[in-house]
């Protein structure tokens, strides 16, 4: 019999949704969770980062093995609230669906982890090992919080990791990497009727970007595990006047990297392109302000096999086991772990993250609490 009933479980999720942690204010979420856990004699620690931003770490059990469980506390902007059918920060229910900003990405996953800890602790579990919750700030923009947890050593003794990002009744064991790159091109201004007296910063930058597109969109690049390498120029600006040769231009690109063509190889190719055009008189430089490597663990690791077995009775369709496209905190947390490290990305959710009327199947949320409860103990007692 469950310690917390359905109404109490949904109330925890409702209170999380009500906290407007839009790329900030995760300390408010952490404070709520700390008080909630304390009600059930679970100790936790808020780890300040800066301002109103913080991580939260909580543990039940003791000793080895250590199972890490993680979810992020921030959400993206809801956009125009008037476009929603209901207040994005007030969880509502319609026809078995829950609605609210972060309901799928990923306050439902976070709530499920916390509720699971409460349920297990009430049963005086685990008898063996430790469950360590790592609730992170700043995942939506650069996975900042998890980098602090990694630096502070919270993953050193971890023997397995569950990231509760939305997968539905499917299982992830890897993810693409991501790079945000700013290109800066400097030239020499002149009158547009006398371009020979200047150097066009836009032309040089455009030529480099066109070359980059040809290289990174080459269909012959291997893509055995995660699909294609993705390179997109998403922002560009330059020039100040229609009849002047521009002396400055800049652009930004987002790259989704794969193990077969990783972040280091992207940097090498871009450096070679910059050298090529700079030798021709350009002055192009880059600032890589986000650099998250791809993650690829074994699809046969222990947690994949264990959760597949536990998930099967709940799934209405075949369970897909595959890498995912979005970047998660795993890009930091599994650094240095071997390929057979027990690792999964699995949590309640669907394909509505970041969308208007973000939604979640209520029963799926409740199912994952049951799945996690069995999974965590099975892992620790294996």
Can you name the residues that pair with 347 across neighbouring β-strands?
Answer: none
- Residues 232 and 165 occupy one common structural domain: no
- Residues 301 and 163 occupy one common structural domain: yes
What was the pLDDT predicted at 224?
A: 77
Q: Say whether pLDDT at 307 is over 90.
A: yes
How confident is the model over 332-354, as a mean pLDDT?
Answer: 97
Q: Is residue 19 part of a domain?
A: yes
Q: Say whether pLDDT at 11 is over 80.
A: yes
What was the pLDDT predicted at 291?
A: 94
Q: What is the CATH number of the domain that holds 194?
A: 3.30.70.360
- Considering the chain, what percentage of its residues have pLDDT values greater than 70? 100
How confident is the model over 29-50, as a mean pLDDT?
Answer: 98
Please state the domain count of the chain.
2
Domain boundary residue among 292, 322, 345?
292
Q: Is 38 helix (H, G, I), strand (E, B) or coil?
A: helix
- Residues 93 and 152 occupy one common structural domain: yes
* Catalytic residue positions, numbered: 74, 139
Domain range for 257: 177-292
What was the pLDDT predicted at 223?
A: 76
What was the pLDDT predicted at 222?
A: 80
Going across the sheet that includes 283-292, the strands are 230-238, 248-257, 177-186, 283-292
Q: Could you give the angle at which helices 302-311 and 362-381 cross, rounded to 10 degrees?
A: 140
Domain boundary residue among 240, 265, 292?
292
How confident is the model over 148-168, as a mean pLDDT?
Answer: 98
- Residues 34 and 140 occupy one common structural domain: yes
- Residues 282 and 316 occupy one common structural domain: no
Can you name the residues that pair with 163 across neighbouring β-strands?
Answer: 70, 345
Q: Is residue 318 part of a domain?
A: yes
Domain boundary residue among 265, 292, 319?
292
- Residues 185 and 211 occupy one common structural domain: yes
Per-residue confidence band for 349, with pLDDT thresholds at 50, 70 and 90: very high
Q: Is residue 76 part of a domain?
A: yes
Extract the runs of DSSP E, i.e. beta strands, from the chain. 44-50, 53-62, 66-72, 92-94, 97-99, 129-136, 160-163, 174-175, 177-186, 190-191, 230-238, 244-245, 248-257, 283-292, 295-296, 343-345, 359-361
How confident is the model over 107-134, as a mean pLDDT?
Answer: 99
Report which of residues 141 and 344 the model is more confident about. 344
Per-residue confidence band for 142, with pLDDT thresholds at 50, 70 and 90: confident
How confident is the model over 54-59, as a mean pLDDT?
Answer: 99
Per-residue confidence band for 221, with pLDDT thresholds at 50, 70 and 90: confident
Contact status, residue 176 vs residue 259, Cβ threshold 8 Å: no
Contact status, residue 330 vs residue 343, Cβ threshold 8 Å: yes
Q: Is residue 139 part of a domain?
A: yes
For residue 264, what are its two tokens? 């280091």
Per-residue confidence band for 315, with pLDDT thresholds at 50, 70 and 90: very high
Dist CA 124 CA 10 (whole Å): 23
For residue 259, what are its two tokens? 């193990």
Q: Is residue 230 part of a domain?
A: yes
- Residues 135 and 72 occupy one common structural domain: yes
How confident is the model over 273-292, as a mean pLDDT?
Answer: 97
- Residues 268 and 217 occupy one common structural domain: yes
Per-residue confidence band for 225, with pLDDT thresholds at 50, 70 and 90: confident
Can you name the residues that pair with 210 across neighbouring β-strands?
Answer: none
- Residues 286 and 189 occupy one common structural domain: yes
Q: Residue for token digits 């009775």?
A: 313
Q: Is residue 1 part of a domain?
A: no
What was the pLDDT predicted at 220?
A: 81
What was the pLDDT predicted at 235?
A: 97
Contact status, residue 226 vs residue 250, Cβ threshold 8 Å: no
Q: Which of 363, 352, 376, 344 is nearest to 164 (CA)?
A: 344
- Considering the chain, what percentage of its residues have pLDDT values greater than 90? 95
Average pLDDT value over all residues in the chain:
97
- Residues 49 and 145 occupy one common structural domain: yes
Q: What is the CATH number of the domain that holds 308?
A: 3.40.630.10
What was the pLDDT predicted at 187?
A: 97
For residue 200, what are its two tokens? 């066009």
Q: Residue for token digits 């120029």?
A: 233
- Residues 112 and 241 occupy one common structural domain: no
Over the stretch 14-26, which tens digit does the pLDDT of each residue have? 999 999 999 999 9
- Residues 35 and 151 occupy one common structural domain: yes
Query: What is the C-alpha radius of gyration for the chain, rounded to an integer number of angstroms?
Result: 23
């Amino acid at each position: 019999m469950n310690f917390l009933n359905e109404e109490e479980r949904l109330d925890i999720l409702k209170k999380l949704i009500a906290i407007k942690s839009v790329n900030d204010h995760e300390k408010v979420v952490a404070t709520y969770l700390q008080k909630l856990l304390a009600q059930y004699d679970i100790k936790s620690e808020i780890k300040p980062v800066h301002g109103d931003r913080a991580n939260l770490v909580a543990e039940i059990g003791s000793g080895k093995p250590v199972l890490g469980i993680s979810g992020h506390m921030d959400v993206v902007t809801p956009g125009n609230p008037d476009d929603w059918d209901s207040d994005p920060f007030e969880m509502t229910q319609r026809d078995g669906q829950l609605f609210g900003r972060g309901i799928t990405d990923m306050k439902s996953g976070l709530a499920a982890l916390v509720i699971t800890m409460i349920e297990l602790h009430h049963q005086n579990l685990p008898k063996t090992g430790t469950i360590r919750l790592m609730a992170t700030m700043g995942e939506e923009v650069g996975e900042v919080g998890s980098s602090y947890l990694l630096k502070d050593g919270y993953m050193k003794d971890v023997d397995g990791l569950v990231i509760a990002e939305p997968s539905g009744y499917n299982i992830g064991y890897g993810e693409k990497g991501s790079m945000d790159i700013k290109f800066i091109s400097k030239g020499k201004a002149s009158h547009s009727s006398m371009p020979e007296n200047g150097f066009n910063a836009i032309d040089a930058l455009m030529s480099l970007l066109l070359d980059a597109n040809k290289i990174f969109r080459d269909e012959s690049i291997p893509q055995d595990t995660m699909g294609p390498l993705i390179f997109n120029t998403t922002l560009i600006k330059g020039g100040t006047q229609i009849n002047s040769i521009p002396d400055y231009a800049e652009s930004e690109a987002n790259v989704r990297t794969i193990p077969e063509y990783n972040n280091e190889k992207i940097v090498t190719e871009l450096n070679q392109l910059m050298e090529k055009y700079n030798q021709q008189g350009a002055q192009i430089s880059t600032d890589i302000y986000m650099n998250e490597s791809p993650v690829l663990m074994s699809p046969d690791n222990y947690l994949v096999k264990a959760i597949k077995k536990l998930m099967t009775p709940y799934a209405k369709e075949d369970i897909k086991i595959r890498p995912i496209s979005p970047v998660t905190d795993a890009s930091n947390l599994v650094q240095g772990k071997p390929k057979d490290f027990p690792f999964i990305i699995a949590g309640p959710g669907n394909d509505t993250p970041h969308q208007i009327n973000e939604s979640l199947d209520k029963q799926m949320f409740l199912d994952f609490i049951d799945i996690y409860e069995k999974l965590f103990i099975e892992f620790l007692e294996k």
